[in-house]
Structure 1
Amino acid sequence: MATSQNPHPFKLNPPNNSRGPANPSTNPNFRRTLPVVVVARRKAKDEEEVWKHKKQGYVDYDRGEHQVRLHVAGLRKSDVPKRYRLRVDGDRFQKDWTLGEVVRRVLELKHWEDIERLLNHWVGRFARKNFPVLIKEITQTGSIEHSIHVFRWMKNQNNYCARNDIYNMMIRLHARHNRTDQARGLFFEMQEWRCKPDAETYNALINAHGRAGQWRWAMNIMEDMLCAAIAPSRSTYNNLINACGSTGNWREALRVCRKMTENGVGPDLVTHNIVLSAYKTGAQYSKAISYFELMEGTNIRPDTTTLNIMIHCLIKLGQYGKAIDIFNSMREKRALCCPDVVTYTSIIHLYSVSGQIENCQSVFNTMLAEGLQPNIVSYNALIGAYALHGMSEEALSVFNKLKKNGFRPDVVSYTSLLNAYGRSEQPQKAQGIFDLMKQNNLKPNVVSYNALIDAYGSNNYLAEAIEVLHEMEQNGVQPNIVSICTLLAACGRCGQKVKIDSVLSAAESRGIKLNTVACNSAIGSYMNVGEYEKALKVYGSMREKKVKPDSVTYNLLISGCCRMSKYNEALEFLEEMMDFKVPLSKEVYSSVICAYSKLGRLAEAESMFTMMKMSGSPDVIAYTTMIHAYSAAGNWEKASALFQDMGVNGVQPDAIACSALMKAFNKGCQPAKVLSLAELMENKGIPFNDAIFFEMVSSCSMLRDWRTTVGLIKMMEPSFPVISVGLLNQLLHLVGKSGKVETMMKLFYKIVATSAEISFSTYSILLKDLLAAGNWRKYIEVLQWMEDAGIQPSIGMYQSILFFAQNSAGADYAAVIQGRVESLKRKSRDQISTTNLQDSSLPTMTLIESTVEQEMDIQSRQRAA
Structure 2
Amino acid sequence: MAYNMVMDGLCKEMRLDEAEKLLENKARQGSNPDVYGYSYLIQSYCKMGNLIKAVDHYEAMVSHGIETNCHIVSYLLQCFRKLGMTSEVIAYFLKFKDSGLHLDKVIYNIAMDTYCKNGNMNEAVKLLNEMKCGGLTPDKIHYTCLINGYCLKGEMQNAQQVFEEMLKANIEPDIVTYNILASGFCKSGLVMEVFDLLDRMADHGLEPNSLTYGIAIVGFCRGGNLSEAEVLFNVVEEKGIDHIEVMYSSMVCGYLLSGWTDHAYMLFVRVARQGNLVDHFSCSKLINDLCRVGNVQGASNVCKIMLEHNVVPDVISYSKLISIYCQNGDMDKAHLWFHDMVQRGLSIDVIVYTILMNGYCKAGRLQEACQLFVQMTNLGIKPDVIAYTVLLDGHLKETLQQGWEGIAKERRSFLLRANHNKLLSSMKDMQIEPDVPCYTVLIDGKCKAEYLVEARELFDEMLQKGLTPDAYAYTALINGYCSQGEISKAEDLLQEMIDKGIEPDELTFSVLNQSSLRSRKIQFCA
- TM-score in same-fold range (> 0.5): yes
Among 601, 610, 626, the residue aligned to 2:199: 610
Where in structure 2 are the equivalents of 1:44-83 lying within 5 Å?
none
CA distance in 1, matches of 2:431, 2:328: 43
1:641 to 224, 228, 234: 234
CA–CA distance in structure 1, aligned partners of residues 53 and 247 of structure 2: 39
The 5-angstrom pairing of residues 404-803 of structure 1 reads 411=4, 415=8, 417=9, 420-421=12-13, 428-430=14-16, 432=18, 446=35, 449-474=38-63, 477-526=66-115, 531-533=118-120, 536-544=122-130, 546=133, 548-560=137-149, 562=151, 566-568=153-155, 570-580=156-166, 581=168, 582-615=171-204, 616-632=206-222, 633-635=225-227, 637-638=230-231, 640-644=233-237, 647-648=240-241, 651-653=242-244, 657-666=247-256, 667-668=259-260, 669-670=262-263, 671-678=265-272, 680=274, 682=276, 688-695=279-286, 698=289, 702=295, 704-705=297-298, 708=301, 711-712=304-305, 714=307, 719=312, 723=314, 725-736=315-326, 739-751=329-341, 754=345, 756-760=347-351, 762-763=352-353, 765-767=355-357, 769-770=359-360, 773-779=363-369, 789-793=382-386, 797=390, 801=394
Q: CA deviation at 1:505?
A: 3.5
CA apart distance, 1:520: 0.9
Q: If the length of structure 2 is used for normalisation, what is the TM-score?
A: 0.66
What does 1:205-284 correspond to in 2, within 5 Å? none
CA 1:708/1:829 → structure 2, altered by over 3 Å: closer, same or farther? closer
Decide whether aligned partners of structure 1 residues 540 and 846 sit closer, same or farther in structure 2, where only a CA change above 3 A counts.
same
The alpha carbon displacement at 1:738 in A equals 6.0
* Contact 2:115–2:123, Cα closer than 8 Å, also in 1: no
Q: What is the alpha-carbon distance in structure 2 between the residues aligned to residue 710 and residue 532 of structure 1?
A: 41
* Percentage of pairs with the same residue: 14
* Gap regions ≥5 residues in structure 2: 448-473, 483-510, 516-526
* Alpha-carbon distance change, 849 to 804 in structure 1, aligned in 2, over 3 angstroms: closer
In the alignment, the residues of structure 2 paired with residue 540 and residue 475 of structure 1 have an alpha-carbon distance, to the nearest angstrom, of 34
Aligned equivalents of 1:561, 1:751: Cα separation in 2: 45
- Mapped to 1, the partners of 2:79 and 2:24 lie a distance apart of 25
1:572 is paired with a residue of what secondary structure? helix
Aligned residue pairs: how many? 433
- For normalisation by structure 1, the TM-score amounts to 0.43
Residue of structure 2 aligned with 1:826, choices 397, 421, 431: 421
Q: Give distance in 2, aligned partners of 1:482 and 1:491.
A: 14
Q: Matched residues in 1 for 2:325 and 2:310: separation?
A: 14
8 Å contact from structure 2 (residues 389, 437) kept in 1: no
Paired residues of 1:752 and 1:758 also in contact (CA < 8 A): no
For residues 313-353 of structure 1, the C-alpha deviation after alignment (integer angstroms, 9 at most, x for no partner) is xxxxxxxxxxxxxxxxxxxxxxxxxxxxxxxxxxxxxxxxx
Check conservation: 1:449, 1:472, Cα contact below 8 A. yes
Query: Any conservation in 2 of the 1:623–1:657 contact (CA below 8 Å)?
Result: yes
- Note closer, same or farther for the CA distance 1:718–1:494 as it changes in structure 2 (3 Å cut): same
Q: Deviations over 1:72-106 (max 9, x none)?
A: xxxxxxxxxxxxxxxxxxxxxxxxxxxxxxxxxxx
* Paired AA for residue 468 in structure 1: H
d(CA) in 2 for partners of 1:740 and 1:836?
A: 34
Cα separation, 1, equivalents of 2:274 and 2:115: 41
Q: Which amino acid aligns with 1:618?
A: P
Superposition map of 1:172-187 within 5 A: none
Equivalent-residue separation in structure 2 for 1:614 and 1:621 (angstroms): 19
Give the whole-Å Cα distance in 2 for the aligned partners of 1:411 and 1:830: 67
Determine the C-alpha separation between the residues in 2 that align with 1:707 and 1:846: 36
Separation (CA, whole Å) in 2 of partners of 1:716 and 1:819: 54
Whole-Å separation in 2 of the counterparts to 1:818 and 1:642: 70
1:732–1:748: 8 Å Cα contact kept in structure 2?
yes
Please say if residues 296 and 324 of structure 2, whose CA atoms lie closer than 8 Å, have aligned partners that are also in contact.
no
Bigger mean CA offset, 591-600 vs 769-778: 769-778
8 Å contact from structure 1 (residues 805, 813) kept in 2: no
What residue ranges of structure 1 are gaps of 5+ in the alignment?
1-407, 422-427
Greater relative contact order structure (CA < 8 Å, 6+ sep)? 2
**How far is 1:594 from its partner?**
1.4
- Contact 1:829-1:845 within 8 A present in 2 as well: no
Aligned partners of 1:828 and 1:433: how far apart in 2?
59
Who is 1:314 aligned against? none
Residues 296 and 325 of structure 2 are in contact (CA less than 8 Å); yes or no, is this contact kept in structure 1? no
- Structure 1 residue 690 displacement after superposition: 3.9
2-side partners of 1:817 and 1:488: how far apart? 70
SS in 1 for 2:405: helix
Contact residue 399 and residue 416 of structure 2 kept, 8 A: no
Structure 1: distance between partners of 2:236 and 2:350: 37
Contact 1:491–1:499 under 8 Å retained in 2: yes
Counterparts in 2 of 1:589 and 1:624: CA distance versus 1, 3 Å: same
With over 3 angstroms needed to count, the CA separation of the structure-2 counterparts of 1:832 and 1:726, relative to structure 1, is closer
- Distance apart, 1:436 and its partner CA: 5.7
Flag the 1:657–1:481 CA change in 2: closer, same or farther, 3 A: farther
Alignment of 1:373-412 (within 5 A): 411=4
Residue 577 and residue 707 in structure 1: after superposition, are their counterparts in 2 closer, same or farther (change >3 A)? closer
1:613 CA displacement: 3.1
Q: What is the one-letter code of the residue matched to 1:790? A: P
Query: What is the rounded CA distance, in whole Å, between the counterparts of 2:274 and 2:36 in structure 1?
Result: 48
Partner of 2:521: none
1-structure distance, mates of 2:76, 2:364: 62
**Structure 1 residues 475, 540: closer, same or farther in 2, change over 3 A?**
same
Partner AA of 2:338 in structure 1: F
Following TM superposition, by how much is the alpha carbon of 1:532 offset from its aligned partner in structure 2, in angstroms? Answer: 2.4
Q: Give the whole-Å Cα distance in 1 for the aligned partners of 2:72 and 2:94.
A: 14
Read off the aligned partner of 2:426 and give its amino acid letter: Q
Q: Does 1:812 find its partner at 2:398?
A: no
Q: How big is the shift at 1:605?
A: 1.8
RMSD of aligned alpha carbons:
4.4
1:17-28 to structure 2, matched below 5 A, reads none
Summarize the Cα distance change of 1:498–1:579 in structure 2 as closer, same or farther, 3 Å threshold: closer
Distance 1:692 1:436 in 2: 53
What is the deviation of 1:521? Answer: 0.7
In the aligned structure 2, how far is the partner of 1:704 from the partner of 1:735? Answer: 10
